[in-house]
Amino acid sequence: MNALLGLIGGLIFGFGLALSGMTDTNKVLGFLDITGAWQPALIFVMGSAVAVTAVAFRFVLRREQPLFDADFHLPIKRAVDGRLLFGAAVFGIGWGIYGYCPGPALTALIYGQTDSFLFVAAMLAGMAISSRLTR
Amino acid sequence: MSETYLMATAGGLLIGLSSVLLLLGNGRIAGISNILWGAVSVHRPLAWRWLFLAGLLAGGALAHTVFAVPLPEASRLGTPMALLGGLVVGLGTRLGNGCTSGHGVCGLGLLSLRSLLATLCFMASGVITVYVLRHILGIGL
């Protein structure tokens, strides 16, 4: 069930990404371009997603355990540190350079653009370098 | 125009729904950068991670084929920008422990201060990056 739920979750997430416009780099860069011809629509993607999670997570976390696992696997870090803020700022730079964040970059592989595959390969390389450096 | 907003909202609701299902069923956070890195780096990755990633592609294909969501126009930024963008996204998401989904959608849903600050950081740096590239360096317009 655990694995099946992973698949169903991925299907819904990927469908949502493609529907929302997040897999369109032109729309994403237009959204980030607030001083240019700003395209504000994508604010509704995160807005409506967070509206759902902020309400539903509270009910889910009242449970002793999830349906198909013994425990909730929640982030344990609480402290805000320089590494978090620096890493997030670096991620934003990459997002602004090409217009893909990790989820849409993966879903966009279905469009068959060579540059999308290269983006994902470079992203994995960046993750590997980061993990090596911070170990 | 209003259709764009409708699709953005509906897509966001589905992303939220997926995140709720994953937490309710598996007790997991739907943070794509962490799921991806877990799938490729953990010694014995759990099947749900690979199936989630497969679903991410299949779900997109479903949206465009069965539900006729129009295909996006291909990027004209070129290969060097794709490589650079990908590398920087990879570096930053590992360093900052998350991306738009993990910190943005799930972290804000958990009312996490770390995620709120991370989200403000990547939003701000994304906006600044596009400003510098488009309006100072004249790249990509």
pLDDT tens-digit series, residues B73-116? 999 999 999 999 999 999 999 999 999 999 999 999 999 999 99
Residues of A in contact with B68 (CB under 8 A): none
- Provide the pLDDT confidence category of residue B29 given band limits of 50, 70 and 90: very high
pTM, two decimal places: 0.97
Question: What is the reported pLDDT for B37?
Answer: 96
Question: What is the reported pLDDT for A72?
Answer: 96
Residues of B in contact with A100 (CB under 8 A): 85-86, 89
Average pLDDT over residues B9-36: 97
| Ranges of chain A with pLDDT below 70 | none
- Provide the pLDDT confidence category of residue B1 given band limits of 50, 70 and 90: low
Optimal mutation site among B33, B62, B100, interface A, most CBs of chain A within 10 A: B100
Closest alpha carbon to B85 in A14, A105, A52, A61:
A105
Amino acid of residue B99: C
For A4, the 3-state DSSP assignment is helix
- Provide the pLDDT confidence category of residue B46 given band limits of 50, 70 and 90: confident
Question: What is the reported pLDDT for A108?
Answer: 98
Residues of A in contact with B83 (CB under 8 A): 118-119, 122
User: In this complex, which of A66, A69, A127 lies closest to B93 when CB atoms are compared?
Assistant: A127
